Amino acid sequence: MKFLDLAKVYIRSGSGGPGCVSFRREKFVEYGGPDGGDGGKGGDVWAEAVEGLNTLIDYRYQQHFRAKNGEHGMGRQRTGRGGEDVVLKVPVGTEILDEDQETVIADLTAPGQRVLLARGGNGGFGNLHFKSSTNQAPRRANPGQPGVERTIWLRLKLIADAGLVGLPNAGKSTFLAATSNARPKIADYPFTTLHPNLGVVGVDGAEFVMADIPGLIEGAHEGKGIGDRFLGHVERCAVLLHLVDGTAQDPAEDYRIVRAELESYGHGLAEKPSVVALNKIDALDEELCRMQADELRAAGAAHVMFCSGATGRGVTEVLRAVRAVILRAREDAARAEAGDEPWQP
């Protein structure tokens, strides 16, 4: 299935049905009077987060969604049938944006969460509503209210506990494949990963979700390479795992490039906790590893770990460090929900 994380959708709620002008006419009934019913309410347009979806590909082939209009009122005080609602089923983690792509209408982060996008118009009053002591036979009825028409954007941000970042060919896909059942494409050329991949990673009997996004290059925030459009998928992560290619010509410069792109992207990514790991150490000797670790610390990395996704060396230690940050973030979230102060190291 093709991965799609952004879709433009046109929606329209249903219009209310018009009221009815009718009079009761029955044999042997002397005072019939007005009996026109009200129009039915127009259908609403909803969005609902559901499990089992991980892409917006359904909205690539259908962009227009219209709810049914309400039916008109009828005689004998019969109200028209209401229009059927339309429900847009989206993956968990979908943001709904206004037409300007900046105003957030809703952020659906839990299964079953629903939001009303366009309310249907109310049905018009029949002439029975206008009967009074001075107007015994009203001959007017209200039309139904029109529906709401708007354009929205659906933007998917994957739900993951940890996010893999780094330059192309840093070994992110190899690391994800070695630590989970995910099977991303792996090859010896840049930009092998063209869309995000999710994997469930296990360590010490516990599991967490890790997201691998396409590699960043210098100028990604300006659209170079694949750009930074996939960085939204790691905005919700509690920790970033920054893999640095130990076989690169200048790993410290590679680290600075990725950090600069995170800062240019914004949305708090540069302030997120991160675990820096020097990858592909199976191709390096100990002295070179220590030298490159010192250069990474000089470039701003607080603590540098060592691993090899190909051989599995040091991978468990890296996963333990990532999981420790995730647990700390969950504890802080629980304290914030309870109104307590967050944990301080």
| 135 in a known ligand binding site | no
| 312 in a known ligand binding site | no
Residue from 162, 307, 331, 319 nearest 244 by CA: 307
| 172 in a known ligand binding site | yes
Calpha distance 161→289 (Å, rounded): 28
| 310 in a known ligand binding site | yes
| 215 in a known ligand binding site | yes
**Residues, the chain:** 345
| 191 in a known ligand binding site | yes
Strands ordered across the beta sheet of 114-118? 86-91, 45-50, 114-118
Spell out the residues 6+ positions from residue 208 whose beta carbon is closer than 8 angstroms to its own: 161, 162, 200, 201, 322, 323, 326
| 18 in a known ligand binding site | no
| 32 in a known ligand binding site | no
| 214 in a known ligand binding site | yes
| 112 in a known ligand binding site | no
| 109 in a known ligand binding site | no
Pair type for strands 162-165 and 239-245 = parallel
Count other Cβ atoms within 10 Å, centred on residue 207: 12
Residue from 77, 109, 86 nearest 12 by CA: 86
| 170 in a known ligand binding site | yes
Q: Could you identify the residue written with the tokens 């190291």?
A: 345
Residue from 67, 97, 87 nearest 5 by CA: 97
| 126 in a known ligand binding site | no
| 68 in a known ligand binding site | no
| 166 in a known ligand binding site | yes
Spell out the residues 6+ positions from residue 86 whose beta carbon is closer than 8 angstroms to its own: 11, 43, 44, 45, 46, 65, 66, 67
Calpha distance 337→320 (Å, rounded): 26
Cβ 230 vs Cβ 195: under 8 Å: yes
| 173 in a known ligand binding site | yes
Pair type for strands 274-279 and 304-306 = parallel
| 169 in a known ligand binding site | yes
| 270 in a known ligand binding site | no
Residue from 172, 189, 195 nearest 307 by CA: 172
| 105 in a known ligand binding site | no
Spell out the residues 6+ positions from residue 337 whose beta carbon is closer than 8 angstroms to its own: none
Cβ 80 vs Cβ 16: under 8 Å: no
Hey, what are 312's tokens?
A: 């599995």
Residues in binding site for Mg(2+): 173, 193
- The binding site for GTP consists of 166-173, 191-195, 212-215, 279-282, 308-310
Mark the binding-site residues, compressed into ranges. Answer: 166-173, 191-195, 212-215, 279-282, 308-310
